[in-house]
Homo-oligomer: A and B are copies of this chain.
Amino acid sequence: MIRANLGIVEIFGPTLQGEGQVIGRKTLFIRFAGCDYACLWCDSAFTWKPGQIAPVEHLRPHEVLHRLLQLDPQCRDVTLSGGNPALYDLTELVEQLGAHGYRLHVETQGSRAPAWLGRVDSVTISPKPPSSGMDTDWALLQQTVAVSACPDLKVVVFDEADYDYARDLRVRFPNLPFALQVGNRVGDDDTAALLQKLDWLAQRALSDPTMQNVRILPQLHVLLWGNRRGV
């Protein structure tokens, strides 16, 4: 685990959380550099992809806090995203932000299970379906679910094989909050096309007896603002 200064690609907001159980929430974002995955359709490849990676700042927790307060002195919702923030030891950051009254939400793929995931407010775990090109380590995913505070699952669905993966995941974790989300490729953010895909996914899940106690969601920020950085 990375214990030194935190490698951060961007701190921005307040903006809307575009995805998952807390879709629409006003939040600040901290986006960490580095990922143990390399999803074919990653919409944040600038956090990890050789040749595309954005400048990385190395900040200490009190510097991160200072930046958050500069962006919005009142906002106390922060989303930790990446890349995969679970690659880092964020114990100290989580403690400091918690002490200042921040509600902390984490986005990770469930391939690392550091103990600090249990000391935040919620963890959205998004295992990656076949279209990503990645394989799921089910034991590690189970560990991540077990250690996390208020875990929920989210699966991005591009095609039928992804949908089958999501269904399998639902059967493995029948009691966790669960969201299906339409996938989009960078540059492929036409509103009508996105809503058409969401309609497909909705009809698929609404008519599927296996898919119960689930949510079907768009990426709200992409509908609003397209696939831009820093929103």
Residues of A within 8 A of B (CB): 13-16, 22-26, 72-77, 103, 179, 191-192, 195, 198-199, 202, 205-206, 209, 211-218, 220, 223-225
How distant is the Cα of A205 from the Cα of B77 in the complex, in angstroms?
14
In the assembled complex, which residues on chain B have CB atoms less than 8 Å from the CB atom of A223?
195, 218, 223
Of the A-B pairs whose beta carbons lie under 8 Å apart in the complex, a sample of 21, sorted by A's number, is A23-B215, A23-B217, A24-B179, A24-B215, A24-B216, A24-B217, A25-B214, A25-B215, A26-B211, A26-B215, A74-B212, A75-B212, A76-B212, A77-B212, A191-B192, A195-B223, A199-B224, A199-B225, A202-B224, A217-B220, A218-B223
In the assembled complex, which residues on chain B have CB atoms less than 8 Å from the CB atom of A26?
205-206, 211-216
Nearest Cβ on chain B to A97's Cβ, whole angstroms: 15
How distant is the Cα of A124 from the Cα of B75 in the complex, in angstroms?
24
In the assembled complex, which residues on chain B have CB atoms less than 8 Å from the CB atom of A224?
195, 198-199, 202
In the assembled complex, which residues on chain B have CB atoms less than 8 Å from the CB atom of A24?
23, 179, 215-217
Q: Copies of this chain, how many?
A: 2
How distant is the Cα of A199 from the Cα of B225 in the complex, in angstroms?
8
Contact B23 A209 (CB under 8 A): no
Nearest CB to that of A214 among chain B residues? B26
In the assembled complex, which residues on chain B have CB atoms less than 8 Å from the CB atom of A195?
191, 223-224
Nearest Cβ on chain B to A31's Cβ, whole angstroms: 18
How distant is the Cα of A16 from the Cα of B180 in the complex, in angstroms?
12
In the assembled complex, which residues on chain B have CB atoms less than 8 Å from the CB atom of A209?
72-74
Nearest Cβ on chain B to A153's Cβ, whole angstroms: 14
New A-B contacts (15) at CB < 8 Å, excluding given A24-B179, A195-B223: A15-B206, A16-B216, A23-B215, A23-B217, A24-B217, A25-B214, A25-B215, A26-B205, A26-B211, A26-B212, A72-B209, A75-B212, A191-B192, A202-B224, A217-B220
How distant is the Cα of A199 from the Cα of B221 in the complex, in angstroms?
10
How distant is the Cα of A16 from the Cα of B207 in the complex, in angstroms?
12
**Among A192, A198, A223: residue with most chain B CB under 10 A:** A223
In the assembled complex, which residues on chain B have CB atoms less than 8 Å from the CB atom of A216?
16, 24, 26
Nearest Cβ on chain B to A17's Cβ, whole angstroms: 8
